[in-house]
Amino acid sequence: MNLSFLKGKALLLVSALTLFLAGCGTNELSTLRPAGEVGREQFNLMILSIIIMLLVIAVVVVLFTIAVTKSRRSKKAEDFEPVDKAGNHTLEVIWTSIPILLLIVLAIPTVYFVFKQADTEAMTDADGNVNAEETVINVRAYQYWWEFEYPNEEVVTAQELVVPTDKKVYFNLQGADVKHSFWVPAAGGKMDTNIDGINSFYLVFDDDKAQDADRLFYGKCAELCGPSHALMDFKVKALPEEEYDQWLADMKAVEEPVQASSEDAQRGEEIFNNSCMGCHAATPTSPGAMGPNLTNFGDRELIAGYLEHDQENLEAWIKDPESFKPDNKMAGTYELTDEEIEAVASYLMELKVEEGSGDVSQLREPAADEESEEGGN
């Protein structure tokens, strides 16, 4: 009796804990709080499958309870034998048809959304080039960081993805070294970044949901890719289209690296140009660099994807990156004194893009010029 009582208490505790944990999650990082069209469709499919599962469980539990209750030995004679239902074609048709019908109910919306969410034809034009009218972002995954290229605007950045709200954002995904997986939990499901091909899909970020999340969502690598896999995070800034266009214009306006202002930063700039420029770019061009693009490093929210953005953490990261992200490619590629590290950190913290410096009207000027030339021909 005591053992049964303890089992009952344990079951009750686990059930209560499960219910409590089901409420965990935040707007910026929870698949249970979808922030866009794709995430919402996938969430609704999950709810449908749960409803079907609970319905099956409820029916089975009710039938089992009725059978056990009605067939208790105290209610039947000792020589009672249940009716043999083997070979009853009617029952066999019923309990075979019901699962098939339930699978059909689940399969129809699943197949529909699979093909709907795989439709990325709009991201290319009739000639197979990137469609200048759509928002297209090329994502390259490295151990253990992310590069984001905006091919229509010829802008490259890293670690912080900036997207417009209330419209489809198309992604081309590719891995640079090993297989990774691009995932923004609040916006939709994950997709692999393979090294031998490009995967494409789209996401939508609702503006009202972005406001609830302070316009900042979290992205992660969802494929085990090495010792620092769990630290391969990135941020997603979801902005209204006007602010997004201005951000792109500001980035595109950067033609030369930011000039250091303070004495320490000026010394750091010189060290950076001699020791770091081979891997890191300080202008938003040239995708495919060995290290993350640092054009707007001073404007970012995090260092190395997860450290608080301040000079102390930056100096610690530069001094010993291996202690923060084991197996990263930066460790052991340079030798700097503590004073040099401090100077470089001062310079990097000054790498900021001036807001409003770009001309939005000229943002996609090259694409417009090409269309004009084609029309003239």
Q: What global pTM score does this model have? A: 0.84
120 and 261 both lie in a single domain: no
Answer yes or no: is 44 within a domain: yes
Phi (first) and psi of residue 309, to 5 degrees: -85, 90
Contact indicator for 285, 154 with CB cutoff of 8 Å? yes
| Residue 15 covered by a domain | no
- Answer yes or no: do 63 and 162 share one domain: yes
The tens digit of pLDDT for each residue in 335-349 reads 999 999 999 999 999
Whether residues 140 and 286 fall in one domain: no
Instruction: Report pLDDT digits (tens) over 218-232.
Output: 999 999 999 999 999
Residues 100, 160 within the same domain: yes
* Segments forming the whole domain that contains residue 161: 27-70+91-240
Residue 164: both structure tokens together: 């417009």
CA 45/CA 54 separation, integer angstroms? 14
Q: Are residues 65 and 199 in the same domain?
A: yes
Residue 211, domain member (yes or no):
yes
Phi-psi region of 221 (alpha: psi -120 to 50; beta: other; left: phi over 0): beta
Is a pLDDT exceeding 80 seen at residue 52?
yes
180 and 31 share one domain:
yes
Tell me which of 240, 273, 298 is where a domain ends.
240
Helices of type H across 87-171: 89-117
Give pLDDT, residue 278.
Answer: 86
Structural domains in the chain (count): 2
How confident is the model over 245-293, as pLDDT tens digits? 999 999 999 998 888 888 999 999 999 999 898 899 999 987 888 899 9
